[in-house]
Amino acid sequence: MTTEPYLLTPGPLTISLRTKQSMLRDWGSWDVDFNKITGRVCERLLQIAYSTGTHECVPMQGSGTFSVEAAIGTLVPRTGHVLVPQNGAYCQRIARICRVLGRKLTTIDYPEDTQVAAADVERALTSDPSITQVALVHCETSTGILNPLHDIAQVVARHGKGLIVDAMSSFGALEIDARTTPFDAVVAASGKCLEGPPGMGFVIVRRGALERSEGNCHSLSMDLYDQWVYMQKTTQWRFTPPTHVVAAFDSAIAQYLEEGGLAARGARYAHNCRTLIDGMAKLGLKSFLPVTIQAPIIVTFYAPDSPRYTFKSFYDAVKARGYVLYPGKLTTLETFRVGCMGQLGERGMAGAVEAIGKVLAEMRAAA
């Protein structure tokens, strides 16, 4: 076991030693060699989404939410109208962003264990032609539910509207193909399925949508259009970039490609997810979602049925055995979450299940 606990979280996550070592060098933010790294990162991100030639990759400093807000603020006109189907906390965050930015908002509200339905999006767009954009979370990190991106993208395209996709917890592990799934923007970040450190987001934007977005943004620092124009002219970031994070992300993407790209990464996470759900079921812990709508990224479990259970005590005991869990994000049920991403060592997810099993046994013996 490593001296550091493995992070069973939806990001940050445990990254490889090679990725960590790539942060040991200092880079000048305007240096030509660093600018080449930025260019290579953006080029490879476009390739992962099959969007080279049709879209641009605009990197942004900060967490993934920074880039989600940048995408909404830049691509939605100030007189625009956003439809947000919501079945979890990150959909609700997008709705909150729209309210803070003063963009007109309509929501379609679902229970947290129910997928967004393309037919509901169809009805909403048909009934209100003033809607200009749909903002969809692909994999809702608060539960792990997977929304049907391709079907919804087809509906949005038929209506001639723009689609902004929060792919924070899916990009790089679940396929998003710009050739067959039309979108104006896909937003993700370094510290998720591509297994880099946190600190950099990026938006893959349809070039035409980006070209039309000048003057929309509420903020100088979050203006994707301005960032893109400046980078096109200079190859540099407008403001100080997270140089060590960018270099590490470049290394992480190289390792991703060496592993076998999306197919291999998605298969590894799917194996982790199956091992986790099956192992936890044997321990008497039930997952919140049915497997048919469960993404292999993060799994929500009902809390153990024990009078001694509190999340903090459970968390501390599992951490002492080498694994860091994540609190639940449901509003009405006592749950916790386990991520399937990251470098989990030789024992992998089986080691995590064993550690949880030992903690549960201790709790039950002491009850």
- Could you tell me if 180 and 214 lie in one domain? yes
The pLDDT-based confidence of 1 (bands split at 50, 70, 90) is very low
What's the confidence (pLDDT) of residue 346?
A: 87
Q: Going along the chain, which residue ranges are E strands? A: 6-7, 55-61, 81-86, 104-109, 133-137, 139-140, 145-146, 162-166, 185-189, 200-206, 298-302, 323-324, 326-327, 335-339
> Is 113 in a helix, a strand, or coil?
coil
In percent, the amount of the chain with pLDDT more than 90 equals 92
Of 220, 113, 100, 93, which Cα lies nearest the Cα of 168?
Answer: 93
Instruction: Kindly state the tokens that stand for 154.
Output: 């087809």
The pLDDT-based confidence of 181 (bands split at 50, 70, 90) is very high
Q: Which residue has the tokens 């069973």?
A: 8
Exposure string of 24-58, with b = 16+ CB inside 10 Å and e = fewer, is eeeeeeeeeebbebbeebbebbbebbbbeebbbbb
- Could you tell me if 267 and 198 lie in one domain? no
Rounded average pLDDT over 303-309 = 87
- Could you tell me if 198 and 106 lie in one domain? yes
Q: Is the pLDDT of residue 2 over 80?
A: no
In percent, the amount of the chain with pLDDT more than 70 equals 98
Tell me, yes or no, whether 337 lies in a domain.
Answer: yes
The pLDDT-based confidence of 316 (bands split at 50, 70, 90) is very high
Tell me, yes or no, whether 177 lies in a domain.
Answer: yes
Average pLDDT over all residues of the chain: 96
| 33-to-26, 39, 40, 200, 262 alpha-carbon distances in Å | 12, 10, 11, 18, 27
pTM of the complete model: 0.96
Q: What is the pLDDT of residues 17-58, one digit of tens each?
A: 999 999 999 999 999 999 999 999 999 999 999 999 999 999
Q: Is the pLDDT of residue 132 over 90?
A: yes
What's the confidence (pLDDT) of residue 332?
A: 76
Report how far Cα 26 is from the mean position of its chain's Cα atoms: 28
Number of domains in the chain: 2
Final residue of a structural domain among 207, 229, 258: 258
- Could you tell me if 177 and 252 lie in one domain? yes
Tell me, yes or no, whether 179 lies in a domain.
Answer: yes
- Rg of the chain over Cα atoms, rounded to whole angstroms, equals 21
Tell me, yes or no, whether 231 lies in a domain.
Answer: yes
**Which alpha helices (DSSP H) does 295-347 contain, by range?**
311-320
Tell me, yes or no, whether 1 lies in a domain.
Answer: no
Q: What is the pLDDT of residues 182-217, one digit of tens each?
A: 999 999 999 999 999 999 999 999 999 999 999 999
Q: Is the pLDDT of residue 283 over 60?
A: yes
Bridge partners (DSSP) of residue 185 are 164, 205
The pLDDT-based confidence of 331 (bands split at 50, 70, 90) is low
Final residue of a structural domain among 258, 273, 292: 258
Range of the domain at 38: 18-258
- Could you tell me if 302 and 180 lie in one domain? no
Q: How far apart are CA 18 and CA 3, in angstroms?
A: 17
CATH assignment of the domain containing 163: 3.40.640.10
- Could you tell me if 152 and 292 lie in one domain? no
The pLDDT-based confidence of 333 (bands split at 50, 70, 90) is confident
The residues, any chain, with a CB within 8 Å of residue 296's CB and separated by 6 or more, are 173, 266, 269, 270, 272, 273, 274, 340
- Could you tell me if 49 and 185 lie in one domain? yes
Higher pLDDT among residues 308 and 173, named by residue: 173
Q: Find out whether 153 and 182 touch, Cβ atoms under 8 Å.
A: yes
Rounded average pLDDT over 279-308 = 94
Final residue of a structural domain among 241, 258, 275: 258
Q: How far apart are CA 168 and CA 39, in angstroms?
A: 21
Report how far Cα 136 is from the mean position of its chain's Cα atoms: 12
Instruction: Kindly state the tokens that stand for 149.
Output: 């991106």
Rounded average pLDDT over 116-139 = 98
- Could you tell me if 278 and 354 lie in one domain? yes
- Could you tell me if 343 and 197 lie in one domain? no
Evaluate the CA torsion angle 315, 319, 323, 326 in order and state its sign.
positive
CATH assignment of the domain containing 337: 3.90.1150.10
Phi (first) and psi of residue 245, to 5 degrees: -65, -45
- Could you tell me if 234 and 286 lie in one domain? no
